Amino acid sequence: MGGVGYGLIGSGRLQIPVSLTDLFPATTPPAEAPQTTPTLTRIPVIAPPPSFGPEPTLSVTLIGPASSADAWANALLDRVLDPLTKPERVGDGFAWWQGGEAIDFLTFRDGGTLFKGDHLSVSDQTSIDVSIVSQSDPNQLRRVASIRVRSSALVLDVTASQTNQSNTQWILTGITPDTALEALEIQAAARSVVLKAAYNPGGGQQSGALVLLAAQATVYATTTPPPAQPASTVTRTPAQGLPTPTHALEATLGSVIEARLKPVLDAGLSFPPDVVAAYTAGHAWNGLMTWNETGPRIDSRPTNVNLASELTLQILTPNDPRGPAQPFLVTQYTGNVTRFPDEQTYFTGQRMDEILYWMVNYGARRGGLFQVSYDDFGSRQAITFVGFVPFTVSTTQTPNP
């Protein structure tokens, strides 16, 4: 039997199950825990200052913050993804970053960076220059960012893309160069790409060097896909009077979501393919839960969770996947407040979109995406978790021009 731990988040007591027996308890109720006085715990979120200029925002933070380095990672991706998605430029083969022994994909696995078949740590480096290959000369590099250790702080910068712009810099404490590199991998995965890079640790007075060579689309290694469903027209009745104000992301909300998702994913969302196919056959909307600049998506289609007054998160019964789905998290929106009744926690405003945001966040940090079935009944909606699909690298090569 799993134990139960208590933490105080938001404005109430948060009960976090640590095993699936906590998710689906027996009929005999557990002994009541001693009452404590609720305490508000705030987790700081480091984010760039808002922009109030007339120019439209052309880039967004797609996932996070899983760490305080995420803002830097997303600014760097905004800077380099366009040239990295173009066909790779081929040089003369004499530069160190053109040799296969230094090249691999940067992936996030088991809590760290996987490179060349092993975990890579860069925390022994005091300075790492991040570059891309010059578009005008494939034998030259163009510096786009840097990671530097200064005293007890980590200094991250992104080089301006135009001469009339200034570099952007973050000074962060309590993190290492490993955190910055991991943030870059996680945020790339959130955009459905994996970065191909060459790494040279340098030595002596020489800085380490990371050259970003390409950004390849990720594909997802699914097992037996559910049978195709005939096209159908779904009429949705939007809930009335449900405003959707914009909120800054709250790490406390993310910790509530992670506490519920962790035991679900730890138990393994690996149900028999025939069971998954049988369940999804009864649902018109099945697919991977993702996030892009327009918000949450399931099966590449925008969801309407921001119109829901009740959102129930479910999982196929772990000890009997042929049985009905069981809820593991219920959220309700009433009176301009999003409530988690089981956790006795609430957040102001309509937060259903942000709930899915943190789910994609947690899945990406664990190396993949959640496969779900989505039921949209207007004001009452449900998402059932039926699988977890790891990120893999596409083997389709783009021919050189």
The CA distance from 19 to 299, in Å, is 29
Partners of 374 in beta bridges: 383
Which tokens go with 9?
């988040």
Q: Identify the burial level of 247 via C-beta atoms within 10 angstroms of its C-beta, where 0-12 means exposed, 13-18 middle and 19 or more buried.
A: middle
| Amino acid of residue 176 | T
**Does 72 have pLDDT greater than 60?**
yes
**Does 67 have pLDDT greater than 50?**
yes
Least confident span in 73-77, 308-312, 346-350, 352-356: 346-350
Query: pLDDT class for 144, splitting at 50, 70, 90?
Result: very high
**Does 13 have pLDDT greater than 80?**
no
Q: What is the pLDDT of residue 4?
A: 37
**Does 116 have pLDDT greater than 50?**
yes
Sign of CA dihedral 60, 64, 67, 73: negative
Q: Any residues with CB less than 8 A from the CB of 286 and at least 6 apart, and which?
A: 226, 280, 298, 299, 371, 372, 373, 374, 386
The CA distance from 301 to 220, in Å, is 17
Q: How many Cβ atoms sit within 10 Å of the Cβ of residue 230?
A: 5
Q: Could you state, in order of their start, the residue ranges of all structural domains in the chain?
A: 70-219, 221-392
Query: pLDDT class for 77, splitting at 50, 70, 90?
Result: very high
Q: What is the pLDDT of residue 212?
A: 93
Is-contact 7 30, C-beta < 8 A? Answer: no
As a dihedral over the C-alpha atoms of residue 373, residue 377, residue 378, residue 383, rounded to 10 degrees, the angle is -20
Q: What is the pLDDT of residue 27?
A: 41
Q: 3-state DSSP call for residue 108? A: strand
Query: pLDDT class for 143, splitting at 50, 70, 90?
Result: very high
The CA distance from 182 to 15, in Å, is 30
Is-contact 343 319, C-beta < 8 A? Answer: no
Can you say whether residue 252 is alpha, beta or left, with left for phi > 0 and alpha for psi between -120 and 50 degrees?
Answer: alpha
Q: What is the pLDDT of residue 9?
A: 40
Tokens 């609720």 found at: 38
Question: Which H/E stretch holds residue 140?
Answer: none
Query: pLDDT class for 170, splitting at 50, 70, 90?
Result: very high
- Report angle CA 72, 40, 9 to the nearest 5 degrees: 70
Query: pLDDT class for 147, splitting at 50, 70, 90?
Result: very high
Least confident span in 18-22, 159-163, 384-388: 18-22
Least confident span in 143-147, 163-167, 250-254: 163-167
Can you say whether residue 378 is alpha, beta or left, with left for phi > 0 and alpha for psi between -120 and 50 degrees?
Answer: left
Can you say whether residue 363 is alpha, beta or left, with left for phi > 0 and alpha for psi between -120 and 50 degrees?
Answer: alpha
Tokens 């160069």 found at: 177
Least confident span in 22-36, 91-105, 209-223: 22-36
Is-contact 175 67, C-beta < 8 A? Answer: yes
Q: What is the pLDDT of residue 130?
A: 94
> What would the DSSP string read from start to end of 203-225?
BTTBPEEEEEEEEEEEEE--SSP
Q: Any residues with CB less than 8 A from the CB of 192 and at least 6 apart, and which?
A: 217, 218, 290
Global pTM?
Answer: 0.47
Query: pLDDT class for 201, splitting at 50, 70, 90?
Result: confident
Least confident span in 166-175, 261-270, 368-377: 261-270
Give tens-digit pLDDT for 217-270.
Answer: 765 433 334 444 444 333 333 333 223 334 567 788 888 888 888 888 877 777
Query: pLDDT class for 63, splitting at 50, 70, 90?
Result: very low
Average the pLDDT over 42-46 and give the result: 37
